Structure 1
Amino acid sequence: MWILPLVGYLGSVVGFCFMTLAIASGLYYLSELVEEHTVIAKRFLTKLIYATMVLQLFLCVVDRFPFLPTALGILSHFVYLGNMRRFPFVKLTDPLFLASCVLVLVNHYVWFRHFSHHQERAYQNATSYYDTPDDVPSFTEIASYFGLCVWLVPFSLFVSLSASDNILPTMGSEPSSSVDTGAAKRRGQGLAKVLVDNVLGAIGQASAMFGWKKAEDRL
């Protein structure tokens, strides 16, 4: 077979492109939703952080999850909670924001090692290769833990927070004209929207350089 593998590769590329567009559209929608309902979003994220910490504590007490990784996860969510003091605005050089970015990666690495080592030890102690140990979490359980306890709060903060260079003016520094007000509103974008805009702008510039798209027709 020669054509079918090519069709498979083409379908994979097209599917990846559609998935990327869907994620970008979702980020845009969520960012605009948070900008319109800032107070509700702040309350929701604060309760979400506390609920995640309680869930991790219950997993440690009831399901005997390891203490040190659980303590690291709870500490990380306390650091995430510190970003809520000026919600939805954040300074990209803020130590709490930088620490949050590092803790996301550290938590992912620590829990990935925990689950992988736990599965490896369980299968080594199995009497037969075809036996499935009862105390080994399934892929769905592991993915759910990562999604709810490791990635959900950082991803929600990333979508909700706005860079301090793009914030709207305060009451003490209102612009003197309606033109300035319109420019300020256009600058009031969240981190996710800024990232998507930069990526689309880079794609537009690259296509203009290769003659695929005119510079004034940027994405």
Structure 2
Amino acid sequence: MWFMYALSWIAFIVIAVCLTIAVAAGMYYVAELIEEYTSVAKRVIRIMLITVTVLNVLLIIFETQFTWTLCGIGLLSNIIYFCILADFPIIGFLSPTFLFAMVLLVIHHYFAFSFFNHHYYPFPEILAYFTIFVWTVPFCFVLSLSANDYVLPQYAEPQRSRYDGDAMTNNGGDLVSNYFKKRAKKIGLLAFMRSVQDTILPTRNKKY
């Protein structure tokens, strides 16, 4: 009996590792698609936001146990996500909109956990709420972070006023320098996965 019990744990570990690798590979593929087709990704995220907003309103109508506070936080979060989507794929990590969205995400988790602690719902329904109303849209933005690294170069407004006086000594206000400075500081899920891939996976040298 102990032998089969040990084998069951080994099988569970193997399945967990395979699922983790499969999810990571899927996220890597989706992040590359978003990086290549940013306009399509923006439309998809907008459709998802509209769908989640409509479902949130229907949740208020058909599920009377859900509090107005919890649903209101969900609707307010969607409004902030629409504001972030307006500048997609450019996402300013230190912008007030993005920081406020992160604060709302934490608050949304807190009120959701508090609600389900006081009201009984089956686990699949709890998972459905968190997946659809809490995690889906922020997860799409996380997958889209690497697309910000490949936006066409833009002239930074603060640097415009700083360097307009002397164009010959302009060391940071032109398009090219801003672009390569941005490219040198890649962040996001896809950039992280690529660094892990380059570190862990073996590379093959091409033979000519």
Instruction: Answer yes or no: same fold by TM over 0.5.
Output: yes
Contact 1:162 1:188 in 2 (8 A): no
Aligned counterparts, 1:163-178, within 5 A: 164=148, 166-170=149-153
Counterpart of 2:169 in structure 1 is none
In 1, the alpha carbon distance for the partners of 2:130 and 2:123 equals: 11
Give the TM-score normalised by the residue count of structure 1. 0.69
In 2, the alpha carbon distance for the partners of 1:154 and 1:162 equals: 14
Change (3 A) 1:196 1:62: same
TM superposition shift of 1:45: 0.9
Counterpart residue type for residue 83 of structure 1 = I
Amino-acid identity (%)? 30
TM superposition shift of 1:190: 7.2
TM superposition shift of 1:79: 1.4
Counterpart residue type for residue 150 of structure 2 = I
Query: What is the number of residues matched between the two proteins?
Result: 183
Match of 1:44, SS?
helix
Counterpart residue type for residue 140 of structure 1 = P
Is 1:104 the counterpart of 2:105 in the alignment?
Answer: yes
In 2, the alpha carbon distance for the partners of 1:32 and 1:188 equals: 18
Contact 1:31 1:190 in 2 (8 A): no
Unaligned runs of 5+ in 2: 156-173
Counterpart of 1:62 in structure 2 is 62
Aligned counterparts, 1:53-132, within 5 A: 53-64=53-64, 65-119=66-120
Counterpart residue type for residue 104 of structure 2 = L
Aligned counterparts, 1:1-219, within 5 A: 1-64=1-64, 65-119=66-120, 137-162=121-146, 164=148, 166-170=149-153, 191-200=188-197, 204=200
In 2, the alpha carbon distance for the partners of 1:21 and 1:190 equals: 21
Counterpart residue type for residue 103 of structure 1 = L
TM superposition shift of 1:82: 1.8
In 1, the alpha carbon distance for the partners of 2:37 and 2:53 equals: 25
TM superposition shift of 1:81: 1.6
Match of 2:119, SS?
helix
In 2, the alpha carbon distance for the partners of 1:154 and 1:188 equals: 22
**Moved >6 Å (runs of 4+):** 171-174, 186-190
Counterpart of 1:134 in structure 2 is none
Alignment root-mean-square deviation, CA: 3.2
In 2, the alpha carbon distance for the partners of 1:94 and 1:18 equals: 38
Contact 1:167 1:188 in 2 (8 A): no
Give the TM-score normalised by the residue count of structure 2. 0.72
User: What are the Cα deviations for residues 133-188 of structure 1, in whole angstroms up to 9, with x where unaligned?
Assistant: xxxx4322222121111111111111123375x33442776769xxxx9x99x879
In 2, the alpha carbon distance for the partners of 1:195 and 1:158 equals: 12
Change (3 A) 1:162 1:90: farther
Contact 1:160 1:190 in 2 (8 A): no
